[in-house]
Amino acid sequence: MQEEIIEILEDINPEVDYKTCTTLIDDRHIDSLGMVSLVAELEDAFDITIPAVEVVAENFNSAAAITKLVARLVEEEED
């Protein structure tokens, strides 16, 4: 799952090392337009809905955090 998320991130901004970066939002590697694209891509790729309350820096500052969020939402969709 994380590899697929990193591919999506690289499509949005290929100049970042997503395997190690933990400040994607804080350092503005993903801007507001990139965030809209990222949320839409994640929703399509994993057949989930990301509620607006989940779109916070804590959930999107690293590929690991995004993976954790997506995994949780996928699990909730299955329940």
Report pLDDT digits (tens) over 6-53: 999 999 999 999 999 999 999 999 999 999 999 999 999 999 999 999
**Could you tell me the residue range of the domain that residue 68 belongs to?**
2-78
CATH at residue 19: 1.10.1200.10
- How many distinct structural domains can be found in the chain? 1
Which stretches of the chain are assigned E, i.e. beta strand?
Answer: none
Instruction: Give 79's pLDDT tier (boundaries 50, 70, 90).
Output: confident
**Under a CB-based contact definition with an 8 Å cutoff, are residues 66 and 60 in contact?**
yes
Could you read off the pLDDT of 47-73 as tens digits, one per residue?
999 999 999 999 999 999 999 999 999
Which pTM was predicted? Answer: 0.95
78 token code pair: 């299955």
